[in-house]
Amino acid sequence: MTSLPDFVQLDSRQASLVIDCMHKTPAIAYFGKRLNKQTSFEMLQLLSTRQEAKCSVLVEAPISLTPSMGEGFTGGPGIELNNDHNAWSIGGKLQSVTQLNAQEVRFESVDEIRNLTLVHYLKLDKETSVLSASSSLTNNDNKPVNVNYCAAPTIPMPDHMTKLLSFEGRWSNEFHRTSIDLFLGAVLRENRKGKTSHDNFPGAILHEQHTNESQGECYGFHLGWSGNHRTRIELLAEQRTYIQMGELLMPSEVSLVKGQSYTSPTLYCSYSDVGFSALSNNFHKFVRSQILTPKQQIKPRPVHYNTWEGIYFDHNLNTLKSLADRVASLGVERFVLDDGWFKGRRGDKAGLGDWTVDYAIYPDGLSPIINHVNDLGMEFGIWFEPEMVNPDSDLYRAHPDWVLQTEGNEQLQFRNQLLLDLTRKEVVDYLFKCIHDILVEYPTIKYIKWDMNRDINHAGNAIGKPAVSAQTHALYKLIDDLRIAHPDVEIESCSSGGARIDYGVLSHTDRVWTSDSNDALDRLNIQRGCSFFFPSEVMGAHIGPRDCHITGRHVSIEMRAGVSFFGHLGLEMDPRELSEHEMKALKSVISLHKKHRALIHSGDLIRLDTDGNSIDFGIVNAQKSQALYAYNSVTETKRTTPKKYRFLGLDPSKTYQINMIWPTQLKEYSPSILPQIEGRNFSGQALIQLGMQLPISFPQTSLIFEFNEVWHKENC
């Protein structure tokens, strides 16, 4: 065996990761702000020296990359195995360290007694400071071994990270944040819904006491996985804290025979010492450079129209043509035909699985509506829910055994549908052919909205084994195979809105549907939460009906448009009901969005801390020469006038011209600052340090300001 290094250090522009290799298993010695050349590994090692505590072990078990019971670790083990012998007490020893390049390293540990190999792979992206980390277990023994849990590498935390920001929600109200103080013991969050889930997003942020959007240290963590998952954050009695995330496996779900391996989902981590917004921008830049393809980045995101909240299942060719005419006149660039186009689909009780055009409604197929849409200059998209089947369908009547189920247990009723077993080759082959045939017959379909509308409650496959893990991998492969066959077709991940949003599915798709709620006030909070990990261009954001179909809330067109403006913009309503004022407003905001979407979909997000009355943020380009800022009044201010708006994120040394670009008209109680600042120049320092007095406005008012650098002769 070649000699092992004492440590490995990976550096990015903002962060350093140091892994201690001097003990039996590798462990993170430091992860945080980039270390300078004067700081050595020996210093870190010495400063971390701990003594024997009373009534404690002489030397504490390490928080290694995979802490284990074999090491005597009494926190949450990073690996749990069993067979008919002693696999449970795996105790590997570091055998090799391979530094693949300056940013990537591979650690291989071997347990020669149990014939198991554990590999850790870590990569610290130089530009974005996002760490990608995964663990892989291989069975080298003749005896099979059951994998109950194999987490991604465990990350120890500095002891001044005392607060946890977690993400939770429900259908149509995703990405809410809850902040708690860490306590002695573990915060354990588990998702068993079979998909990423509305209620338990696989992400967390650990931070110090007074961190906010623009100051303070924080660490962000996200597990890129679309199935069941587990997050454990624990403060141990000896004042050590760690976070551990991995796939939650059901009993007997993964069993390895000799030569087989299991690899954890990838854990994505990053660090910021200047607050949450900078942390989010690390993740945004990583998504743009490492997850999205260059092709996805180059093409402007087309403004959508989706038919769902406009007509639901009431499909009619003439109606659809009239919808297309109306939205094309507004500047819409993509028309998406939602649920209801296929055989027997007149409601949500029948038809799923029978992916052929319903000729009772479309006697000439989809060509008339597709051609009409294309002739209007719009792309055409279509809705599928491939993983599901209605019991009332030809597919289910022919193959009732093709669904996930468990023997002797009655299926729970859920939206009149069951889950197809994607671990069966014949099922995947059938689904590929159905979708492929539609795309071949109608080659100008350029977009698929891929939906998934129920939890996996009985996840048994054809041989009675739990199958969420294999089901998720099969889903990824099915999408990939379709993308290879149809490279010009974009795919959206939707799951009753935001129940399948993660870096795992995003690696195989083009955008996510953020929430089924198009209520602008709800969306402000949902999109803000989603923005902690996801950039604006992948977040579907549609302007819904004036009376929201989910909340019943009446919101002005100006507010609805102002909120959707900062995502992947779309419309989802019946445009025949629009007033002349609403038509004019939509046409205006779509034109504005097209003008500014290059900035919206590439700039740095600056979330501003909220006082509870408004939700405010900005997007600034890399040169800080152009910016957009939004003020979104949600409730009436507690004082006679609102606070000043400080435009954090601008360059204090530059001069900017300010213009209010939305709404085009604002009715005010009395003359305000707005006409006086229009087109005027202000120093970045004044805009940041003093800020601008906000006008008095009604609740549910959205204002958007544009800033452009003013070039003086000395700048040239």
| Nearest-angstrom CA–CA distance, 483 and 552 | 38
What is the band of 205 on the pLDDT scale with cuts at 50, 70, 90?
A: very high
Radius of gyration of the chain from its Cα atoms, rounded to whole angstroms = 27
Tell me the two tokens of residue 531.
Answer: 């923005």
Task: Please tell me whether residue 197 adopts helix, strand or coil conformation.
Answer: coil
C-beta neighbour count of 712 within 10 angstroms: 10
Average pLDDT of the chain, as a whole number: 96
Task: List, in order, residues 6 or more apart from 621 with CB less than 8 Å away.
Answer: 599, 602, 603, 604, 627
Has residue 594 been placed in a domain?
no
What is the band of 114 on the pLDDT scale with cuts at 50, 70, 90?
A: very high
Has residue 556 been placed in a domain?
no
Task: List, in order, residues 6 or more apart from 328 with CB less than 8 Å away.
Answer: 335, 376, 377, 378
Angle between helices 580-600 and 317-330 (to 10 degrees): 60
Has residue 540 been placed in a domain?
no
CB 132 within 8 A of CB 266: yes
Has residue 519 been placed in a domain?
no
CB 160 within 8 A of CB 208: yes
Residue 446 CA to its chain's centroid (Å)? 23
Tell me the two tokens of residue 586.
Answer: 């939509």
Has residue 181 been placed in a domain?
yes
Is 451 assigned a catalytic role? Answer: yes
Q: Do residues 368 and 267 share a domain? A: no
| Listed residues 513, 542, 562: the one ending a domain | 513
Percent of the chain's residues with pLDDT above 70? 99
| Nearest-angstrom CA–CA distance, 342 and 318 | 17
Q: Which one is catalytic: 354, 358, 502, 516? A: 516
Residue 716 pLDDT more than 50? no
Task: List, in order, residues 6 or more apart from 241 with CB less than 8 Å away.
Answer: 156, 157, 158, 159, 161, 182, 206, 233, 234, 235
Q: What is the pLDDT of residues 470-510, one digit of tens each?
A: 999 999 999 999 999 999 999 999 999 999 999 999 999 99
Q: What is the pLDDT of residues 115-135, one digit of tens each?
A: 999 999 999 999 999 999 999
Q: What is the pLDDT of residues 662-684, one digit of tens each?
A: 999 888 878 899 999 999 999 99
Q: Do residues 112 and 171 share a domain? A: yes
CB 340 within 8 A of CB 294: no
CB 387 within 8 A of CB 419: yes
The arrangement of strands across the sheet holding 185-191 comes to 155-157, 241-247, 229-235, 185-191
Task: List, in order, residues 6 or more apart from 214 with CB less than 8 Å away.
Answer: 274, 275, 277, 606, 609, 648
Percent of the chain's residues with pLDDT above 90? 95
Q: Do residues 279 and 423 share a domain? A: no
Residue with tokens 């195995």: 81
* Strand bridging mode 334-337 / 304-306: parallel
What is the band of 392 on the pLDDT scale with cuts at 50, 70, 90?
A: very high
| Nearest-angstrom CA–CA distance, 144 and 3 | 32
| Listed residues 462, 485, 513: the one ending a domain | 513
Q: Do residues 426 and 301 share a domain? A: yes
Has residue 518 been placed in a domain?
no
Distances (CA, A) of 495 to 370, 437, 451: 25, 24, 5
Distances (CA, A) of 661 to 301, 528, 580, 645, 672: 21, 21, 20, 16, 16
Residue 71 CA to its chain's centroid (Å)? 35
Residue 714 pLDDT more than 80? no
| Nearest-angstrom CA–CA distance, 417 and 452 | 10
pLDDT at residue 669 in the model = 79
> In this structure, what CATH number is given to the domain that contains residue 491?
3.20.20.70
pLDDT at residue 506 in the model = 98
Tell me the residue ranges of DSSP E strands in 66-195: 79-82, 93-101, 104-111, 116-124, 130-139, 145-150, 155-157, 163-170, 173-181, 185-191
> From its phi and psi, is residue 364 left (phi > 0), alpha (psi between -120 and 50) or beta?
alpha
| Listed residues 513, 546, 572: the one ending a domain | 513
Domain span including residue 710: 606-715
pLDDT at residue 639 in the model = 87
Tell me the two tokens of residue 604.
Answer: 């740095």
pLDDT at residue 665 in the model = 87
φ, ψ at 529 (rounded to 5°): -65, -45
CB 192 within 8 A of CB 254: no
Is 547 assigned a catalytic role? Answer: no
- Output the pTM of the full model: 0.97
Q: Do residues 33 and 171 share a domain? A: yes
Q: What is the pLDDT of residues 602-660, one digit of tens each?
A: 999 999 998 889 999 999 999 999 999 999 999 988 888 899 999 999 999 999 999 99
> In this structure, what CATH number is given to the domain that contains residue 660?
2.60.40.1180
Q: Which one is catalytic: 451, 510, 519, 616? A: 451
Has residue 575 been placed in a domain?
no
Q: Do residues 131 and 198 share a domain? A: yes
Q: What is the pLDDT of residues 558-590, one digit of tens each?
A: 999 999 999 999 999 999 999 999 999 999 999
Q: Report which secondary-structure segment, H or E, holds 649.
A: none
Task: List, in order, residues 6 or more apart from 184 with CB less than 8 Å away.
Answer: 235, 236, 237
pLDDT at residue 78 in the model = 98
Among the residue ranges 173-177, 295-299, 349-353, the one predicted with the least confidence is 295-299
CB 697 within 8 A of CB 597: no
CA dihedral 399, 403, 383, 173 (to 10 degrees): 160
Q: Do residues 287 and 326 share a domain? A: no
| Nearest-angstrom CA–CA distance, 82 and 88 | 5
Q: Do residues 340 and 379 share a domain? A: yes
Q: Do residues 670 and 626 share a domain? A: yes
Has residue 601 been placed in a domain?
no
Nearest to 544 by CA among 304, 321, 370: 304
**Roughly how many angstroms between the first and final C-alpha of the chain, as a whole number?**
61
Q: Do residues 301 and 276 share a domain? A: no
Q: How many domains does the chain have?
A: 3
CA dihedral 475, 480, 485, 487 (to 10 degrees): 130
Q: Do residues 373 and 283 share a domain? A: no
CA dihedral (191, 195, 197, 203) positive or negative? positive
What is the band of 435 on the pLDDT scale with cuts at 50, 70, 90?
A: very high
Nearest to 97 by CA among 218, 2, 179: 2
C-beta neighbour count of 452 within 10 angstroms: 23
Burial class (CB in 10 A: 0-12, 13-18, 19+), 554: exposed
Q: Do residues 328 and 373 share a domain? A: yes
> In this structure, what CATH number is given to the domain that contains residue 23?
2.70.98.60
